[in-house]
């Protein structure tokens, strides 16, 4: 384990976070808020510490998969721990654990909140919450790679990107990783700006438009009103629905479209399944709502379109309290919480491509049982899925269930009802935000004990980083000397 290199990269990360904190400071200054000073002070201290770290470049720049995972895990923990300080020192969120939960929820693009009423927060605090979604959506290390020529020959960057980016197999878009990172952030920024302009054009004020665009882009879900997204215009809801879905698409899709390979883009199996699952969920929910007579006040069913998009892309904005919907609709929502969005998008969950590989692997294994000599492969996008990738996906599911069960046991000690406990973990582990019951769209996470909040914070980080980085951090074998 090359600790000096890990610490060096963490130093770079601190410089980046300090730089990013200047934005909320500027916003706060614009609104004449005193709390903006907190951002400036925290940024200055962080920049100084980071500077002292990067002053000395490590001699040994060796960096392998292990270092990549550990660096990623530490990066996100530091990011959240420091990002929480302005909330607690200004007293806007008095408890540091609550502030930490809120910040983790921001960076992991979960959108789960411990705040009963968000409207009491200063504008700069609201901005920082939403901005953290945007940073966390595409990943802060990817951002770092896009703007900084990191030290070393380059292998290390791939390990960092693999550890931070979601999906069963992470590929570069172009030969150089810095170009790949620039491409990803370019697409991300362009879509975000487009979303912002369209929201602004619909009559939303600029502050709300920016925060809501950040939330949709990172598929986060923090809003600036206690009522979430319910009070905005019909037009804004349509725009938000479309953009949430767009940000849940694998970014390779956009790369293919931009490089004029639209045919290949449309053939992407994952994107097709993503669309199919979405429309299946929306249509059956609409039928279900119509059947029980709940469609009356929402003739065009925008709530169904919006809620399914919001839950499936793991954003977590709410226009309606789907907690009150009939059982079938609620179960569908819980199921798509787990399926999540595409790999290589800003969304969370288990990811559609993993689901496809799982289902196809199961199919292959079943057919092998009745026809043992047949040789078959799992194929995705008409390419063979390596056995190692399929096994890794199965292992991922197993670890996912394991962590889920352990979290469930701990959080259950708080004594809330089964739906609340179960969906609280589903909504944080899959980076959605609102669950059902007490943590439904109109509820929040403030009632949980400190221990549960820390467990849920861990789940959010594990969900965003796809478990392994955090797991390797606590596995003794990572820290063994040989």
**Which residues of the shown chain bind another protein in the complex (CB under 8 A)?**
64-65, 153-155, 157-159, 172, 174-179, 386
**Cβ(441)–Cβ(420) below 8 Å:** no
**CA separation for the pair 247, 111 (Å, rounded):** 16
Helix (H, G, I), strand (E, B) or coil at 380: strand
Nearest approach in angstroms of CB 182 to another protein is 13
Nearest approach in angstroms of CB 155 to another protein is 5
CA Rg value for the chain: 22
CB half-sphere exposure, 409, CA atoms < 13 A = 5
**CA separation for the pair 449, 374 (Å, rounded):** 54
**CA separation for the pair 207, 196 (Å, rounded):** 10
Residue 178 or residue 446: which is nearer to another protein going by CB?
A: 178
DSSP E strand boundaries for 313-465: 379-380, 383-384
Nearest approach in angstroms of CB 363 to another protein is 24
CB half-sphere exposure, 37, CA atoms < 13 A = 6
The DSSP call for residue 187 is H
Cα-flanking dihedrals φ and ψ of residue 268, to 5°?
Answer: -60, 115
Nearest approach in angstroms of CB 389 to another protein is 11
Q: Is the Cα dihedral 400, 355, 110, 467 positive or negative?
A: positive
Question: H helices within 430-467, ranges in order?
Answer: 450-464
* Per-residue buried b or exposed e for 283-297, using 16+ beta carbons within 10 Å of the residue's own CB: eebbebbeeeebbee
Q: Is the Cα dihedral 374, 379, 384, 385 positive or negative?
A: negative
Q: What are the structure tokens assigned to 448, written together?
A: 């949980």
**CA separation for the pair 19, 15 (Å, rounded):** 6
Site of tokens 């002292």: 52
């Amino acid at each position: 384990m090359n600790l000096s290199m890990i610490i060096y990269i963490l130093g770079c990360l601190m410089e980046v976070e300090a730089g990013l904190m200047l934005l909320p400071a500027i916003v706060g200054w614009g609104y004449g808020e005193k709390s903006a000073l907190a951002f400036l002070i925290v940024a200055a201290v962080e920049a100084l510490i980071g500077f002292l770290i990067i002053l000395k470049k490590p001699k040994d720049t060796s960096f392998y998969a292990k270092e990549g995972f550990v660096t990623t895990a530490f990066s996100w923990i530091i990011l959240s721990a420091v990002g929480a300080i302005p909330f607690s020192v200004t007293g806007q969120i008095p408890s540091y654990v609550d502030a930490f939960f809120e910040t983790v929820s921001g960076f992991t693009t979960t959108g789960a909140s411990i705040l009963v009423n968000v409207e009491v927060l200063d504008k700069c605090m609201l901005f920082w919450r939403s901005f953290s979604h945007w940073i966390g959506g595409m990943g802060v290390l990817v951002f770092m790679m896009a703007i900084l020529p990191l030290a070393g020959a380059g292998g290390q960057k791939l390990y960092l990107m693999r550890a931070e980016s979601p999906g069963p197999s992470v590929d570069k878009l172009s030969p150089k990783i810095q170009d790949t990172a620039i491409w990803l952030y370019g697409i991300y920024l362009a879509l975000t700006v487009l979303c912002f302009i369209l929201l602004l054009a619909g009559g939303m004020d600029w502050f709300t438009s920016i925060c809501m665009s950040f939330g949709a882009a990172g598929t986060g879900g923090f809003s600036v009103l206690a009522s979430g997204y319910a009070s905005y215009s019909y037009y804004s809801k349509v725009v938000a629905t479309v953009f949430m879905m767009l940000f849940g698409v694998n970014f390779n899709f956009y790369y293919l479209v931009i490089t004029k390979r639209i045919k290949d883009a449309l053939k992407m199996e994952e994107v097709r399944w993503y669309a199919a699952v979405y429309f299946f969920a929306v249509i059956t929910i609409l039928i279900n709502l119509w059947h029980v007579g709940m469609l009356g006040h929402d003739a065009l069913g925008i709530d169904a379109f919006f809620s399914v998009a919001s839950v499936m892309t793991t954003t977590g904005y709410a226009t309606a309290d789907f907690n009150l919907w009939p059982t079938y609709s609620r179960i569908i929502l819980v199921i798509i919480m787990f399926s999540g969005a595409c790999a290589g998008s800003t969304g969370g969950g288990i990811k559609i491509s993993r689901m496809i590989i799982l289902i196809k692997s199961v199919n292959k294994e079943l057919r092998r049982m009745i026809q043992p000599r047949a040789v078959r492969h799992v194929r995705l996008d008409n390419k063979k899925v390596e056995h190692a990738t399929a096994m890794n996906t199965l292992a991922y599911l197993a670890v996912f269930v394991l962590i889920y069960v352990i979290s469930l046991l701990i959080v259950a000690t708080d004594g809330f009802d089964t739906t609340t406990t179960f969906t609280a973990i589903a909504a944080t582990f899959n980076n959605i935000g609102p669950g059902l019951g007490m943590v439904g769209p109109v509820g929040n996470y403030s009632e949980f004990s400190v221990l549960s909040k820390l467990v849920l914070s861990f789940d959010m980080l594990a969900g965003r980083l796809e478990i392994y980085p955090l797991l390797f951090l606590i596995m003794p074998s990572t820290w063994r000397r040989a």
